[in-house]
Structures are given as C-alpha cells and as structure tokens.
Amino acid sequence: MLNILPDIEKRNFGLDLFRLSAILIVVLGHGFHFFGLKNYISYISVDGVDLFFVLSGFLIGRILIKIKFDSYKQAFKEILTFLKRRWLRTLPNYFLFLIFNILMLCAGIYDGILNINTLAYFAFLQNFKIPLDLMFWESWSLAVEEWFYLIFPVLLMVMYCIGRLFKVKINLFLCSVILFIIIPLVLRISFCSSQAASINADLFIRKIVIYRLDTIAWGLLTAFLFSTQQKIILKHSLLLFVIGVSGITLMNNVLCFDNFMFNNTVYFSLQSLFIACLIPLFFKTGNPGKLVKGGTAFISLISYSMYLVHLPVLYLIKFTGFEYTYRHEKILLMLFYLIITISVSAIVYSFWERPFLSLRDRK
C-alpha cells in the first residue's frame, strides 16, 4: 500500500475522507442490493455519485480559477494544459473498462446489447441528451464529468472573447459558473413540464449529461467562495455542515415524496448546494493517526478504479452461479466482493492508472 502513497503528508485528509465516503456509498449500496442484504447505506440519504460530482467541481475549480486571461494565447495555452491533464487522469481507465465491459458482454457474463450505437460510448455520447441503455451503465457519470471538463473551459474562453470584444469587465469564472447552475435547471424544468410522472426519471433525467452539469458547477462555486472568503467559510464550517446534513435529510425524507416536478428539477440543485455545504468542515478536518490517514488516502487514490471495478466483480460473482440463500452466506460473499474490488482496484491503479498520472505530472 505504501508504494502507491507518495507524498502522503501533502494530501488533505478531509478531502480524502470525503472521497472515501463517496466511493463506499456507491460500492456498498450496490453490494447490499445485489446480495439481498438490508441496505444500511440508504439511511445516509445522499447519492454517492453526487458527492463525487461536487467534490470534483471543487477540486478542478481551484485549478481553473487560477487561469490567467492576460491574452488569447496565454488563456488558450493554460486551458489546453488543463484538458490534457484531465484526459490523462480520466481517459485511460475509462477506455480500459469500456473494452473490458464489451468483452464481458461478448462472453455472456452479463446481459446487454452490442450494436452500432455502442460506438457512442467511445465519444461519451451514450447519455448526452437521450439515454443509450445498452451496457456499461456506470459510465453515465463519467460522461457528465468529461463533457463538463470540455464545455466549461470553452465557455470561459468564449466569455473572455466577448468581454474583450465589447470591452466589458466581468468575472469570467463566476459568470460561467452561474450559467452552468441555471441552464441545466431550466432544461430539467422544461423537460419535466412535458412528461408524465410515470417516466423513468433515473434514466431520462438523473443520468443525462445536459441535465446534470450543474451538480459539478456547485463545486466550482464552492471553490470560488473559498478563493475569496476562505477564512469566513472555514470559521462557519460547522454551521454549514449542519445546514448541509439537515437539508439533505429533510429533502430525502419529507419534501420529495410523490412530487415528480420537485424530485427531478429543484431537488438536484438543492442536494448539490447542501453537499457543497459539507466540504468546508471536511477540508479543515485535522490529520488523524498515520494508519488512518494512510488507509483513507489509499482508498481515495484507488476510488476511480473502484468505481469502474466493482460492478464487473458483481457480474462475475453472478456468472459463477453460486447459490447464496442464508444471511451468513450473503455476508461472506459481500466481504469477498469488497476484498476483490479493493485488490483489483489497487492493481489497476498501480500498473495502469498511475503510469498515466506520472506522465501527466511531467513538466
């Protein structure tokens, strides 16, 4: 484990803990459901993928906000550098597991469809505006992130050009963030206004790129506030955390019951806002003992691989045809699933993901 934990002292423990919480919510939630165990994760009342979205927005926001728009050439160069770094971080794992999912489907390990539309997955178009419910279902969130990484910097550049053209001084970053928060919400409202409540909202709204870009934008807004009001935000981090937890709990247990319009429009905006409220307390969380910090950093580092590994592991367990009727059998298989997922993810990170990260970090 120590071999894949370089410069552990430089890592923010709280943000690693945030990422660990997100991946465990996803992996444990799917595991409990798959093995027919009581889903204790459901009591947390927050979507692990949305935790990833907001945290991702916060982290890349702290990078994008530093881009210098002194000239067209300088801005373009820095944006291109940002995109190259993000692509080296995300694309190798994505395409590795896209190919792996196609091979599993060809081998009959899990149900799915292969046809000409499968090519859309290679361009992250499987859920841009309409869903392609063919295979590699967990890839929907990666498409949301990849399109955000591309569109937001381009919007920054467009806003810069407009400002230069009309000689208007605007905060490029903040204006772009506000647009990304408002437009997806308006699109969701417009779509839901014309749909029956019986529509599969998870497939046609929650997992569609153009309707979910605002979740990452809330993380960028948090990064902007950190850059301007960090002392004030950290001073009130506990209050913000209480507001975030209370808001998430209230929404998921009171407000959203049997309310189609709220559930699929304002709900996503509010949940993103409340998740963003959690970040300051995590950010300032002090370092625990070395063992806890190392274990948390380890899971945080391999979390992207875990997200892509865990469902194939479940498919393979199902493919074996092993019977699990009794509770103790389900618990043992659950533990086996977690051990295999973490082990394989560590291997993928060490021998595939990390070399690309090293390439990315070269000057």
Give the model confidence (pLDDT) of 157-207 as tens digits: 998 888 888 887 788 899 999 999 999 999 999 999 999 888 999 999 999
CA distance 360 to 338: 30
What is residue 2's predicted lDDT score, i.e. its pLDDT? 45
Span 19-47, mean pLDDT?
91
- Give the residue-averaged pLDDT of 47-57: 97
Residue carrying structure tokens 């960028």: 220
| pLDDT above 60 for 303 | yes
pLDDT confidence of residue 259 = 83
Q: What angle do CA 201, 206, 211 make, to 5 degrees?
A: 115
| CA–CA distance, 308 with 20 (Å, rounded to integer) | 15
Residue 362, pLDDT above cutoff 80:
no
Question: What pLDDT, in 10s, does the model give residues 122-146?
Answer: 999 999 999 999 999 999 999 999 9
Considering the entire predicted model, what is its pTM? 0.94
Residues in the chain: 363
- pLDDT the model gives residue 326: 86
Whether the per-residue pLDDT at 345 is higher than 70: the answer is yes
Residue 109 DSSP one-character state: S
CA-CA-CA-CA dihedral for 155, 178, 62, 268, to nearest 10: -110
Q: Which two tokens stand for residue 358?
A: 């090293």
Q: What is each CA distance from 125 to 117, 174, 182, in whole angstroms?
A: 9, 28, 22
What value does the mean pLDDT take over residues 15-35? 96
* Contacts for 34 with CB less than 8 Å, ≥ 6 apart: 314, 317, 318, 337
| Packing angle, helices 72-106 and 303-319, rounded to 10 | 10
| Whole-number pLDDT of residue 7 | 62
Cα separation, 44 vs 25, whole angstroms:
8
Contact 77, 289 (CB under 8 A): no
**Average pLDDT across the chain, whole number:** 92
Query: What's the confidence (pLDDT) of residue 255?
Result: 67
pLDDT above 90 as % of the chain: 75
The least confident of 28-32, 120-124, 255-259, 338-342 is 255-259
Residues in contact with 190: Cβ distance below 8 Å, sequence separation at least 6, in sequence order: none
3-state secondary structure of 302: coil
pLDDT of residue 336: 95
Cβ pair 58, 77 in contact under 8 A? no
Query: Does the pLDDT of residue 351 top 70, yes or no?
Result: yes
**pLDDT beyond 80 at 346:** yes
Which two tokens mark 206? 């929650």
CB 14 within 8 A of CB 59: no
Query: For the packed helices 13-34 and 266-283, what is the interaxial angle rounded to 10 degrees?
Result: 130
**pLDDT at residue 30 above 50?**
yes
Which one has a higher pLDDT value, 362 or 127? 127
Tokens 């959690």 locate to 278
Summarize the confidence of residues 287-294 as an average pLDDT.
86
pLDDT tens per residue, range 224-279: 999 999 999 999 999 999 999 999 998 887 766 678 899 999 999 999 999 999 99
Provide the H-helix boundaries in the chain: 13-34, 48-64, 72-106, 140-166, 172-193, 201, 209-235, 237-250, 260-264, 266-283, 290-301, 303-319, 327-348, 354-360
